[in-house]
Structure 1
Amino acid sequence: MATAIALVPALTPLQPAQVAAAVTAPSIQPRGLPASPADDDVKDVPLVVSEITPESVGEKSTVTVTGRVSNLTEETQTGVSVRLRYSSYPLSDRDALDAHADGEGSTLYQSGPRFAVDGDLPPGVSVPFTLKAKAKDLDLLGGLGVYPITIEALSDSAGAIDAQHTFLPYIADTKTGDLDTIKTAWVWPLMGRPQRADDDTYLGDGLNENLAADGRLGVLLSTGAQEGEIDPAETGEPVDPDAEETPESPSPSPAASPGQEPGDETPAEAETEEHSAGQVPVTWAVDPGLLADIERLSSSGYQSLTAGRDPAEQPALQDHDVSVNAQAWLTHARRWLDTDPLLASPYADADLPALLAADLDYDAERSVRLGQETVREVLGRDADPTLSWPAQSSMDSATRDFLAAGGTTTFILNDAALPAQRWLGYTPTAAVSLPVPDREAGTALVADSKLTAAMGADTHSPGAATLSRQRFAAETAMIAAERPSVDRTIVLAPPRDWDPSREYAEGLLEASDSLPWLDVVALNDVKVDNAGTKSRQKLTYPDKLASSRLSGDELDDVRATRRQVKLFNSVLADDEDPFRPAVLRMQSAWWREDEALAAVTRARVSETVETTKGKVHVIPGEPITLASKNGTLGVVLANDLETRPVKVYLSIFSENSERLAVGNYTDSMEIGPGGKTTVYVPLSAKVNGRTVLHMSLQNADGEPLAEEQTMTPVNVTGLGTGALIISGSAVLVLILALAPRALRKWMRNRARTEEASQGPAPEPAGGVGADAMPHNGNGPVRDESAAAASETAPDLSGRQEPDGSADTDRESETVGVDGDADGAPRP
């Protein structure tokens, strides 16, 4: 360059400022800002470009590049300098732009301003730099276009230190009217992969961190809403979508001015509306599955898996308290997303092409229906059912027909799904007509894949946000420069898992509104360009995407789990489907890119379904003994589910029905949450021995709830018929033998009782009672015949005294059953 480019002094007044000079024209170099230790965030970046202004360069602009250079080596570097190199010719196309961004473009020979470090640069020390040049001195020859620049750091001792490749979008003279603005519409994603396996188990604790004010989802929500940062202390109660709104009574505004009529805007209100009107319009795209994951975090404590990604590894669980981050995030989301356009993906971003190809249409329908229900429950409002953003921004014809049948009229796709015509030499418009069988044509809004990739760059490292924002300006300027006089539309749809820095996200929104070649509009204001429709090919589903969809083996695992879920649901008395969200999470398109975590998710859900089914069971009993021909068995059934009643059928059969038969019993019953009930089952034994009873709980169709059955051994010990007859006969003989003796004893006891009741008689001579002897008028007379009979009568007891006389007094003693007088058992 023939002319030196003057540079302004650095900002610090305490020391002399260094000034960069053009290589071709030496000048005095004032000293720069003092060196400082390198920050931790630049320890891996020796050259950081922190700002480039302006983003859009005009003829009268002054280009300013600021940043810092650091010595990250262990040796002192001498002769360190930073310089700007550029080309005075614009890049020819977007491919050349990509090449330069990757450092693979043509060498830039023009030299711009240069900054030299005063003195040596010790290890671990950083020095700020500023490069300035007037646009007219750069002699940009092509007018409207994108010019490549490179910022280089060099040293005499180490040579090239680092280089950053970026761009200068340039508009020579906008008064000519050659430049037509490009309509630009935003789709702002609040999406991400499923965070849970079953409803209560998270795959990690990353979601809680992402919901913080400076986390991924926290930044996306606050920057997209353009309302400031999330206040962590501001939490609220969950929204009840069925609650009726309470009308608020109007009240006079405290800011009303004299003479203001009721209903007129106050200055504060007018300022608020003006601020809202000045915001960049965005259309929010939410994943209902992610919203449900966030809502679960905000309601109660939860568990997360801490194991690796091997499904065979026994996972460890970590307990967490309720997430305050989730509560604050939901509170702000309900407020900030209240009126903006909103679209919802199917629940957990289901892999619709895979489900439809595998004849799982019912699951595909449930994912859409549950998605709409979840948005209503969590956010308290409905999503627009006419807008769809298919997974990976692409779809096959079956998915198109399925979504169209559900009410979709506008499809957000990428340019791999609707490629530009091969003969087209520029970027076609985004809004085109999309043929849909058996109905009016729909609308396709095609996002540019290169823009999407550029916006998805990592912007968390030092200087990355500045370079990425400059890349966005360059990409859009290049599109505008391709056909300056052709009306076109571009759709800005960042990646679904977008993780921008706050600086970058805010910068993109500002750039889309401030760059002179862009005219930001609402997505629903974009109209189809019928002429532009011809510039795109027909709907295409790339082979790479078709081959990456969920495989047959993966869906077979899902089917197996669904069968167990269906069996469990069949015994629920409230006719619900509690595992429906978990099954749909297993079918997410996100698992295309993470097969290991997908396997862990499927294994965890399958295990949870089996465990939950096992909570409705027969309580095993102890082995029982049946000591008679007939008996009754009490079977206890338990429902350990805490919130759900069940209706089950008890099935019992004998392993050997000829030995032990099961009678009629009540086989169906409803058991409340946490309840138990007992079923009494009659049993009939025919032969002694051991028999096993098999018990299982079934649904109404006779399908067992569990593969394993409860077994109860029954031991029959009752006697046979012949033994019963013999025993009965022996008892009868014993009764007949003892009856006479018992009768005689009873008669003697009765006689004695009667004698005792008559009182004592006078003692006759000879010691014989007077009442025992007959009277002849002069005294008692002895009955000789009776006495003789008494003396000669045999002893019924069969026992004799030692002197040979009968012991008649023993007849008055108690007689035992075995014949002993005292009732004691005989030896």
Structure 2
Amino acid sequence: MGEARHGLTAYGRVGRAARRLAAVLAGGTVLLSAAPYATAAAPARTGFPAASPDYPATVQIDSLSAPVAGDNATVTVTGRVTNAGSSTVKAAHVVLRSPKEELDTRSAINLVAGRTGPTGKDGTVLAGHKADLGDLAPGQSRAYTLQVSTADLGLRTAGVYELAVDVRDADEDRPLGIARTFLPFNTAPSGKQTRIATLWPITHAPELVAQTMPDNDQMPVLRDDSLATELAPGGRLGKLVSIGQTLPNLTWVVDPDLLDTVYAMTKPYRVQKPGTAGESAKDENTVAGTGQNVAAAWLAQLRTAVAANGSQVVALPYADPDLASIAHNGNGLAGMDTALRKASTAGKVTAEGRLSVDVSGNVAWPFLGRLDQATAGVARTAGEDLVLVNGSSMPESRSLSYTPNAVRPIGNGQTAVVADPVLSSLFSGDLDSDQAQSLAQQRFLAETMTITQQRPDDQRSLLVMPSRTLTVGTAEALADALHAAAQPNGWVAPTRLDAVATAAADPEANGSVPGDYPGELRGSELSSAALGSVMGVQTGLDQLLQILTQPQRVRGPFNAAMVRSMSTQWRDHAEASAAYRNGVRSYLDNLTAAVKVPAKSSITLPGDNAILLVSVKNDLNQAVGNLELRVTSAQVNRLNVGQPATVVLDGTTSRTFRFPAEAQVNGPVQMTAQLWTTGPNAQPYGQAVSFTVEVTSVASGVMYVIGGGVVLMALAGVRFSLQRKKRSAAGEVDLDPERLLEPEDAEAGADAAAAADSTAETAPGTAEEAVGAAGAEGVGEPSDSTPESASDARDRATGDEKVGH
């Protein structure tokens, strides 16, 4: 296996070098001009300075046939020259310079990388080593090839040297432009190899959404199908696995959410149509995914790669939550600590399940590796005791003359593994040209060789941290650099993160975590409002889960979607981040609103005792329970309703509930229908529905009218009986019916009859309306209804709104 691996490695290096040389000889397009490297205190610069009036030509070095030169070796240098000036360069030609001295410190390398225009420090022109380009008109570009032996360069002692190429015109009195690179000269093993662990990130922005298709298999749904392109053999993730599997002792850093997504894609899946992010997934608003075959092939290849060559797999917390954003804008939000701990646990379990290998968990990787005390605290809360840190956050003292081990104890039971800032910055961008890749590779070789020579008898352990979104070009350059430095007789020994993390900590190394966070990174953080919105989903989700009979169909997808909403992958993608969060929130709102009381308009309620009908609708695909329907009156002294009704509904059904209603007064009464959850912490569920009940006929009023007449007649009878007894006692007996009443008795009877007639004349025209009017007066409340005719009442009763609708 070892021989096969080295054979594949050599093939990859030679093949790429051949392609670069062929492109140069064919006259490929100039992509970038020469540029200085970064200083040790700042990330390496990837841009290149423009030509100036003094130096109108730009020179680039695209490749070295021997990235590391040995005794009696011949080095072929290829590149391009472009006339960026306004006048023609006559008889242009490029020349090589022999290096002036060995660069035996990292600061010396840094000084060379920081130069701009040509200087005498770049060495002397090497006679007999030039390539003619002919006249170069403004904007014209031509390729060049130069060959030189290490003997001609004057290399005798193992070490790092500057290699410079400049362009001149026919006068040859001065250079018109220059390009620099570094050439390590290695003759024999010297000292102990430097152990270097390299992070190999396998990450992607979240794609799975909270929706699933409404079937028994819960078919997954993705926000788009871009991942299928990346998983293909020529895609970014496809190439990362192919390149990574050639590297020994690689540390694969995987986002378990990506593994879950790819696994979901190995089976039939759906993709949302644009503009449907918050909708329930259906056939009409999704399309079939296209990545089933490439997903299966990629996952199989990844499983093979991580199980070979002494690899280590590090699982990030599930969906890679943005620890720095949470520390600065979301720490203390209800439920956040629990969510982080669950994400950390789920990350390790998921990665082990999907890859079938042992996985290292409890590792925190803040955005760009930038750490402050607040971010370290959040990582500790999540249970992550190993923190990957960019050395820019924890710079070494200038008085330290060597590069210390990467491991540092930082207190509170946490350990930081600090990546070398210069080595990491070389691979932080997208090295999308041969020139950029070659420059990064040669700088890496120069830096690591110098680190090894600083203390040849003291083995050091370093960490290289490339970009979290590692690109193909950058991955190729990093792999080539590692292969070249670790070749036979090389000075680098590739190792795993766990070996670096358990090495002895250097007491001279900086172990102080800064209190401040870089201000330039604050603008890309997830805001307090965004994080608050994410955690607010939990409240609504808890209430929805309480009424579901199959809560597991919703709980898992939403919990995962909430963590995905806080992913580090959303950095610098604010629009996509907001769209994903809004989609989760809208979808939850739609599910919640699917169980509801339909809107009601005004209804008519005839009689003092009737049935009020209220419907509840369930548009979900599963049954719901743990609900009750409460109907309440704004004026219970006028219209009162019965007890709440227990609500249990099958999926996609509706049901009408009957509420006994008792009316006391005619006229309109405002009513409210509201669903409530049941249990000790009962809460309103969904939106309340308000409607008006028009009471038209209350029967109790007639009894007051009739009762009043009976009382008057009884009083008249009593008076008649008393008068009659009085006359009998005086001996006046008159049996004539027409004389039974004396004149004053007759007057009293007439008064009573008149009173009864008067009452009848002032009452409403129907018996039901009379009951209503008398009832209103009987309870001591003024009636707020206007008497209506029987035809009006009939017309209203036959309108659009019927009782119970």
Which category describes the TM-score, using the shorter chain as reference length? 0.5 to 0.7
Q: Indicate which of 224, 234, 237 corresponds to 1:214.
A: 234
Q: Deviations over 1:105-163 (max 9, x none)?
A: 8721422364333655679986543211121222247x343222233345559997764
The answer for the alignment partner of 2:317 in structure 1 is 346
Aligned to 2:477, what secondary structure does the other structure show?
Answer: helix
2:359 aligns with 383
For the pair 1:333 / 2:302, whether they are aligned, the reply is yes
For 2:347 and 2:464, the matched residues in 1 are separated by: 24
Residues 62, 438 of structure 2: 8 Å contact kept: yes
The amino acid of 1:492's aligned partner reads V
1:544 to 518, 533, 549: 518
Query: Does residue 569 of structure 1 match 2:545?
Result: yes
| Residues 161, 182 of structure 2: 8 Å contact kept | yes
1:684 aligns with 2:671: no
1:510 aligns with 2:483: yes
The 1-side partners of 2:491 and 2:651 are apart by 64
Q: Which residue of 2 aligns with 1:639?
A: 618
Distance 2:585 2:89 in 1: 61
Question: 2:622 and 2:314 mapped to 1: Cα distance?
Answer: 33
* Structure 1 residue 38 displacement after superposition: 4.6
Rounded Cα–Cα distance in structure 1 between residues aligned with 2:385 and 2:63: 42
Aligned-pair CA distance for 1:454: 0.4
Paired letter, 1:216 = R
Pair 1:467 & 2:467 matched: no
- Could you tell me the percent identity over the aligned residues? 27
Aligned residue identity for 1:613: T
1:783-802 to structure 2, matched below 5 A, reads none
Instruction: After superposition, give the CA deviation of every residue in 1:22-81 in whole Å (9 maximum; x if it has no partner).
Output: xxxxxxxxxx99998754675999755332032222342222212345678999764232
Aligned to 1:61: 73
Q: Which residue does 2:425 correspond to in 1?
A: 453
Letter in 2 for 1:532: D
1:300 paired residue number: 269
Q: Give the secondary structure class of the aligned counterpart of 1:469.
A: helix
State the shift of 1:479 in Å.
1.6
- 1:167 offset after TM fit, Å? 0.8
* Aligned counterparts of 2:158 and 2:531: Cα–Cα separation in 1: 53
Give the gaps of 5 or more residues in structure 1: 1-31, 227-278, 312-316, 729-827
Q: Spell out, residue by residue over 1:725-748, the C-alpha distance to the aligned partner (whole angstroms, 9 max, x if none).
A: 9999xxxxxxxxxxxxxxxxxxxx
Partner of 1:116: 131
TM-score scaled to structure 1, two decimals?
A: 0.66
Which of 109, 131, 134 in structure 1 is aligned with 2:146? 131
Q: Aligned residue for 2:406?
A: 430
Write the mapping of 1:224-373 to structure 2, written as runs, cut at 5 A.
Answer: 224-226=244-246, 279-295=247-263, 299-303=268-272, 321-324=288-291, 325-338=294-307, 340-352=311-323, 355=326, 357-358=331-332, 360-373=336-349
Matches of 2:24 and 2:381 in 1, distance apart? Answer: 65
Distance 1:564 1:100, change over 3 A: farther
Partner Cα distance (1:531, 1:658) in 2 = 80
Cα distance 1:155–1:378, how it changes in 2: closer, same or farther (>3 A)? farther
User: Tell me, what secondary structure is at the counterpart of 2:543?
Assistant: helix
Q: Which of the two has greater helix per residue?
A: 2
Equivalent runs, 1:761-800 vs 2, <5 Å:
none
CA distance in 1: counterparts of 2:178 and 2:272, whole angstroms: 46
1:452 offset after TM fit, Å?
Answer: 0.9
SS at match of 2:685: coil
Partner Cα separation in structure 2 for residue 162 and residue 649 of structure 1: 82
Query: Is the Cα–Cα contact under 8 Å of residues 570 and 577 in structure 2 kept in the other structure?
Result: yes
Aligned positions, number: 628
Change over 3 Å in CA distance of 1:83–1:527 after alignment to 2: same
Q: Pick the aligned partner of 2:638 from 631, 634, 659.
A: 659
Give the SS at the match of 2:388.
strand
Cα distance 1:542–1:397, how it changes in 2: closer, same or farther (>3 A)? closer
The residue type equivalent to 2:563 in the other structure is L
SS in 2 for 1:223: helix
Larger radius of gyration: 1
Q: Are the equivalent residues in 1 in contact too, given 2:405–2:460 (CA < 8 A)? A: yes
User: How far, CA to CA, are the matches of 2:627 and 2:85 in structure 1?
Assistant: 74
Is the Cα contact below 8 Å between 1:38 and 1:125 reproduced in 2? no
Counterpart amino acid of residue 571 in structure 1: I
For 1:342, the aligned partner's letter is: V
CA drift of 1:511 comes to 2.6
Question: Which residue is equivalent to 2:682?
Answer: 702
* SS of the residue 2:248 aligns to: coil
1:90 shift after superposition: 2.7
Stretch of structure 1 that moved more, 448-457 or 711-720: 711-720
In 2, the alpha carbon distance for the partners of 1:118 and 1:397 equals: 57
| Counterparts of 1:186 and 1:33, CA distance in 2 | 31
Amino acid at match of 1:510: H
1:524 aligns with 2:539: no
User: Does the alignment pair 1:617 with 2:632?
Assistant: no
Q: TM-score, normalised by structure 2?
A: 0.68
